[in-house]
Amino acid sequence: MLKDRTQLEKEEQQKLAPYAMASAKTAGRVHKEPIDQNRLPFQRDRDRILHCKSFRRLQAKTQVFVSYFGDHYRDRLTHSIEVSQIARGLCRTLGLNEDLAEAISIAHDLGHTPFGHGGEDALDEIMQKYDLNFEHNEQSRRILEKLERINPNFDGLNVSKEVLDGMLKHNPHAYKTYSEFEEYPHLEAQIADAADEIAYINHDLDDGLRSGLITLEQVSVFKLWQLGHRTAIDLYGKTILAKDKESQRRYCSRVISKMISHMIKDLQNTTAKNIDQNNISSLEKVRSYKGRLVTFSKNLTPDIKDLRSFLLDNFYNHPKVATQIEKGKKIIRKLFEYLVNNQNKLPPNYRQLIKFGEQPEIVVKDYIAGMTDHYAEEKFNSFS
């Protein structure tokens, strides 16, 4: 049986909770277009994002290690896929819209710079000189919009407004300022944000251990690790504690897997309680609730904070990582300075944006933010 749009909407409505963002309730797209009779709008958004160039470029953008550091470390693409997988699972158990959360998850880092958060910091410092700023979630939204307000001929994805608003998920205050709806985030946006945190804490811990920059002795003191350790031992036995290198890799992977499961379960249970205790019985009540409904428990939150602080001090700021990041920041600063002063070196479509009235510094920022690590280095070397 071939299912049409009406049947798909009906089936979706049957499985969604009353507080979920149903496809039938979408506020639509910035530019109206014919309805797809065989896909719901958020499914269509996800497909467009998956096939766009900005998504493909994430495979060569830094997560923690620059993209050529090693084959087994995460990059922005693998990170986004892991976020999406966690977000879909959370939505499934809470009765939320998986397609919307997936679209937000795979798009949330489209605006990230090369060279990770160091690159983001460098661009932000540069833009502050022009009384502007740079933040990768806002840039992700900008990429999805593709500057259509400035140049209607600039190719854009024209995704649903709910996906655009999901790009501002990290900051409820910014969300209320920039949102099309002048309301607070739908639960699917909050889920994508929480899934991002679960994903990066655990896979960065895994990458840190794999690289040898942090050790088992260091992480074994944390409550989350201890919980994962006990669960792994209960399931697999003490044989996983063998001291050979391969066994230790399996042990770390299994402990981290259990840590992820514990964080997901805690988030699900706490969020369900928040929804019940605040009488959230409709989407409208979600959008008017001043605060977060998707949260970890008060017991787990300090443990997550402790592990995040440890990663910041011992992994993200490790000299070997910091050296790479400082090199990337230098490249971005030099590229920006050169391109602002030599606008003829910008690609034609970016030069056209300046002709349409966009501020040159913003156009250069957009160009650099879209670069991969190696492309930024290549351009830097060609301009030097």
Q: Contact at 8 Å (CB) between 368 and 113?
A: yes
Q: Which amino acid is at 93?
A: T
Q: Contact at 8 Å (CB) between 339 and 346?
A: yes
Using left for φ > 0, alpha for ψ between -120 and 50, and beta otherwise, residue 12 falls in alpha
The residue segments making up the domain with residue 290 are 37-383
- Residue 75, SS3 per DSSP: strand
What contacts 24+ positions apart, CB below 8 Å, involve 1-4?
2/38, 3/38, 4/37, 4/38
The residues, ordered by sequence, that sit 6+ positions from 327 with a Cβ below 8 Å of its Cβ are 115
Residue written as token pair 């797809």: 36
Q: For position 154, what pLDDT does the model report?
A: 47
Angle between helix 360-369 and helix 348-355 axes, rounded to 10 deg: 150
What contacts 24+ positions apart, CB below 8 Å, involve 83-88?
83/108, 83/192, 83/195, 83/196, 83/199, 84/195, 86/195, 86/198, 86/199, 86/260, 86/264, 87/188, 87/191, 87/192, 87/195
- pLDDT surpasses 80 at 228: yes
Q: Contact at 8 Å (CB) between 62 and 75?
A: yes
Query: Is 294 a member of any domain?
Result: yes
Summarize pLDDT for 280-291 with one digit per residue, the tens.
999 999 999 988
- pLDDT surpasses 50 at 361: yes
Q: Contact at 8 Å (CB) between 51 and 183?
A: no
Q: Contact at 8 Å (CB) between 120 and 294?
A: no
How far apart CA 26 and CA 30 sit, in angstroms, is 12
Query: Is 103 a member of any domain?
Result: yes
Q: What angle do CA 128, 176, 275 make, to 5 degrees?
A: 130
Closest CA to 99 of 35, 55, 48, 134: 48
- pLDDT surpasses 80 at 45: yes
Q: For position 148, what pLDDT does the model report?
A: 45
Query: Which whole number is the average pLDDT over 168-184?
Result: 57
Query: Is 334 a member of any domain?
Result: yes
Q: For position 177, what pLDDT does the model report?
A: 46
CA 357 to chain centre: 30
* Helix (H), strand (E) at residue 169: none
- Residue 28, SS3 per DSSP: coil
How far apart CA 61 and CA 2 sit, in angstroms, is 40
Q: For position 22, what pLDDT does the model report?
A: 97
* Structural domains in the chain (count): 1
CA atoms within 13 A on the CB side of 103: 28
CATH value at residue 146:
1.10.3210.10
Query: Is 316 a member of any domain?
Result: yes
Q: For position 374, what pLDDT does the model report?
A: 92
pTM across the whole model: 0.93
Query: Is 19 a member of any domain?
Result: no
To the nearest whole number, what is the mean pLDDT of the chain? 90
Q: Which amino acid is at 121?
A: D
Q: Contact at 8 Å (CB) between 18 and 283?
A: yes
Query: Is 118 a member of any domain?
Result: yes
Query: Is 357 a member of any domain?
Result: yes
Q: For position 239, what pLDDT does the model report?
A: 82
